[in-house]
Amino acid sequence: MKKQVLGIMASALIASSVMAADFTLKFSHVVSDNTPKGKAARFFEKRLEELSKGKIDVQVYPSSQLYKDNAVLKAIRLDSVQMAAPSFSKFGRIVPQLALFDLPFLFKDIDHLHRVQDGVVGKKLKAMVTKKGYVALNFWDNHFKQLSSSKKALIAPSDAKGQKFRIMSSKVLEAQFHAVGANPQMMPFSEVYSGLQQGVIDGQENTNSNIFTKKFYEVQKYLTVSNHGYLGYLVVMSKKFWNKLPSSLQANVVQAMNEATQKEREYAEDLNTKQFNLIKEYANKTGKLEIITLTNEQRNAWAKKVSTIYPQFYSKKKIGEDLINGALNTK
């Protein structure tokens, strides 16, 4: 009898907690819970439920349980899901100006990048996305990209000449590799390892975490620490959902998202550092991979060569001179 009473009480407590939520927010993303994005989504879930005192029930769906990134933006427009954090490339047709982050050597370091994202340029980009029927909240990191090759160490820009590099679909990345005499090859991310292994492509560019998790370092002879480009995500919310929230709960969403963003950046930094150290361990143990860290002089030579592509994207329909110069001049 006592167990039965306790069971009824527990059921009543669960029912009351469910009833207490005025809104349900489904957060869909494509990676696992133990990634920086996954951990930050869980942090956001806990924090928003605390701040809203249970009025918003946040439900996180990792690993493409609900939608893949190429379908989630439509689902957000329909309010079928309320939040997602797609990569910038998924916004290509909606707000091509987000290709700003593809421009090589635009950012001095990670702190400069964050000042751009959190400042005037970031606000302009978010406003462009919001105009298209979303609520653009914050930028989340994957991290800076590095260059690798199976043919030749990439120390000077001329070392890339004639090499075939995998790129994702991006006019900026095409121009970047053409600027150094290389041959960009569009290829799905899932095919990069086999492409490198079979010699279909000679090299690729990715973050340390992507290079490590996909084991690209096993099928490359040279890895250059260039920090030349950036991969990231934009967290967006359904405008229909946002407009339903009273201003007090909107403020809770903003606060929880700002705190989650700080956490996500820390998680991403930590993961990239740890996984780069594991790549270095592999290189030291096997002798099969040479890691090159560009000096300031070498990095400047690359930056000078590839920044010649910037004017190709001055048109407002592409990126816009104001955004490019705004990023360069952000203090």
pLDDT at 46: 98
Report yes or no on whether pTM surpasses 0.75.
yes
pLDDT at residue 4, as a whole number: 54
- Tell me, what's the pLDDT at 20? 73
> What is the rounded CA–CA span in Å between residue 231 and residue 143?
6
Query: Which residues lie closer than 8 Å to 74 by C-beta, 6 or more apart?
Result: none
- What number of residues does the chain have? 331
3-state class (DSSP) for residue 151: coil
Residue 183: alpha-carbon gap to chain centroid? 25
CB 95 within 8 A of CB 132: yes
CA angle 295, 298, 303 (to 5 degrees): 120
Classify domain 2-328 at the CATH topology level. D-Maltodextrin-Binding Protein; domain 2 (3.40.190)
Closest listed residue to residue 286, CA positions, set 221, 199, 224: 221
| DSSP-assigned letters across all residues of 253-294 | HHHHHHHHHHHHHHHHHHHHHHHHHHHHHHHHHHS--EEEE-
State the CB neighbour count (10 A cutoff) for residue 241.
20
Domain boundaries along the sequence of the chain:
2-328
Low-confidence ranges of the chain (pLDDT < 50): 2-3, 5, 12-18
Query: What would the two tokens of residue 210 be?
Result: 């992507």
The single residue listed with the structure tokens 């920086």 is 36
Residues sharing a CB contact under 8 Å with residue 162, sequence separation 6 or more, in sequence order: 181, 182, 183
Spell out the residues 6+ positions from residue 129 whose beta carbon is closer than 8 angstroms to its own. Answer: 91, 94, 95, 98, 136, 234, 236
Task: State how far the alpha carbon of 108 is from the alpha carbons of 53, 227, 275, in Å.
Answer: 41, 9, 22
What are the structure tokens assigned to 172, written together?
Answer: 């900026």
Rounded Cα distance, 168 and 176, in Å: 12
CA separation for the pair 121, 274 (Å, rounded): 31
Rounded Cα distance, 290 and 222, in Å: 5
With residue 291 as reference, give the H or E element that holds it: strand 290-293
3-class DSSP assignment, residue 25: strand
DSSP 107-154: -SSHHHHHHHHHSHHHHHHHHHHHHTTEEEEEEEEEEEEEEEESSS--
Burial 59-68 (b: 16+ CB within 10 A, else e): ebbbeeebbe
- pLDDT score of 69: 83
Q: Where are the alpha helices (DSSP H) in 119-170?
A: 120-131
> What integer pLDDT is reported at residue 19 of this predicted model?
57
